[in-house]
Amino acid sequence: MDETKRIDPSMLDGKEPIAVGYKIFNYDWTGYGGYSYADESGNVEGSVHTVAGNLSKCGWGLHYCVNPVDCMRYRDLIHWNKFALVEAYDENIECPEDGKSVCRTMRIKKVLTFDEMVDACKKFKKDGYGISNGSSIN
């Protein structure tokens, strides 16, 4: 059975992330399907989540975007949403045509404020990565 669950962060001790990216969550730290990344106290930073079952390109798994601007293809960049810098572990499938990737295990490395997420988008644009979906962030 495919499921998503929180695991002990020590399970990643000694492992290097496959990739680093960004993720926008709903205001209550849920994603599509209603899975909550927050613990019972509402904390997410440092938490680790994993999925069982077969990953599927742009389907089943934990999604994130390497380019923070691509996150806006899936969730709005609005103040009441939640934002994070994330790390991918164990298995990863890139979906470049959709501007996202899907991984087996994800650590929420750092919770970002709205302004930090905007700054990450500006930095990606400034560093020459461009804006893939026509968004304009000055």
Using an 8 Å Cβ cutoff, are 77 and 27 in contact? no
Q: What is the pLDDT of residues 1-53, one digit of tens each?
A: 468 899 999 999 999 999 999 999 999 999 888 899 998 888 999 999 999 99
The residue whose two tokens read 């806006």 is 72
132 and 100 in contact (C-beta within 8 Å)? no
pTM above 0.75, yes or no: yes
Q: How far, in Å, CA of 60 to CA of 55, rounded?
A: 5
Structure tokens at 8: 């002990």
Cβ–Cβ < 8 Å for 51, 31: no
Return the structure tokens found at 34: 């209603």
